[in-house]
Amino acid sequence: MKILIDFFPILLFFGAYKVYDIYIGTGVLMAATVLQMALIYGIDRRLQMMHKITLVLILAFGTLTLVLHDDRFIKWKPTVLYAAMAIALAIAVWIYKKNFLKMLLGSQLTLPEPVWMRLNILWIGYSAFMALLNAYVAAYYSTEAWVNFKLWGYAFPLVFIVGQGFYISRYLAVDDTPKSAP
C-alpha cells in the first residue's frame, strides 16, 4: 500500500503530461502530492522531514512553473532537492559531526558506527549524482525526454535502496529467540 502511495503522484503526472501537457501535468502533480501527504499523515499521524521538504518544493516550483508558464522550474525541482540533501548530509557529518541517517533511522536499525558513516557517505554521493543527472537531462534534453527520464529514472533509487539493503543485511542483528509453535 505504501509503495502505491509513494508512486502515484509521479504516475499521475506522467499520465497528465502524456494526455495534455507539462502545465496540466504540473497541476496534477501538485494536487496528487498534497493528497499523498494527507494520506501519509492519515496513516502515520505525522510527516517525515523529507515529506515536508518535498511538498514545499513541489508546491513552490510547481507554482512558479504555472504562474510564469515556464517548465524549467518543475524540471529543476529534483536537482534542488537532491543537491540540498547532499549538502545537508555532508555539512552535518563533516562540520557538525552528526549523522542524519542514524538520527532518522537509528531507532529502526542497529548498525555499527562505521556502517552508519559509510551509509551517510553513500547517500551524499547518490544525492549528488542524482542532482547532476537530473540537471543534465533538464538542461540538455527536451521536456518529453525529461518526463520519460522522471518515470523510468525511478530505477536509480530502487537499485540504490536494494543495494543498500544487501549491504546492511550482514550487519543486522539476528533474533536468536526460539520461536514458539503456533
Query: pLDDT tens across 130-168, in order?
Result: 999 999 999 999 999 999 998 888 788 889 989 999 998
| pLDDT at 120 exceeding the cut of 50 | yes
pLDDT per residue as tens digits for the range 39-59: 999 998 998 888 898 999 999
> By residue range, what is the domain housing residue 22?
1-70
| Residue 151 buriedness (CB in 10 A; 0-12 / 13-18 / 19+) | middle
| CA-closest candidate to residue 21, choices 153, 152, 155, 142 | 142
pLDDT tens per residue, range 98-112: 888 888 777 778 888
Is residue 181 assigned to a domain? no
Distance CA 11, CA 29 (A): 9
Q: Is 6 within the bounds of a domain?
A: yes
- Total number of domains in the chain: 2
Same domain, residue pair 55 and 94: no
CA distance 88 to 131: 13
93 and 166 share one domain? yes
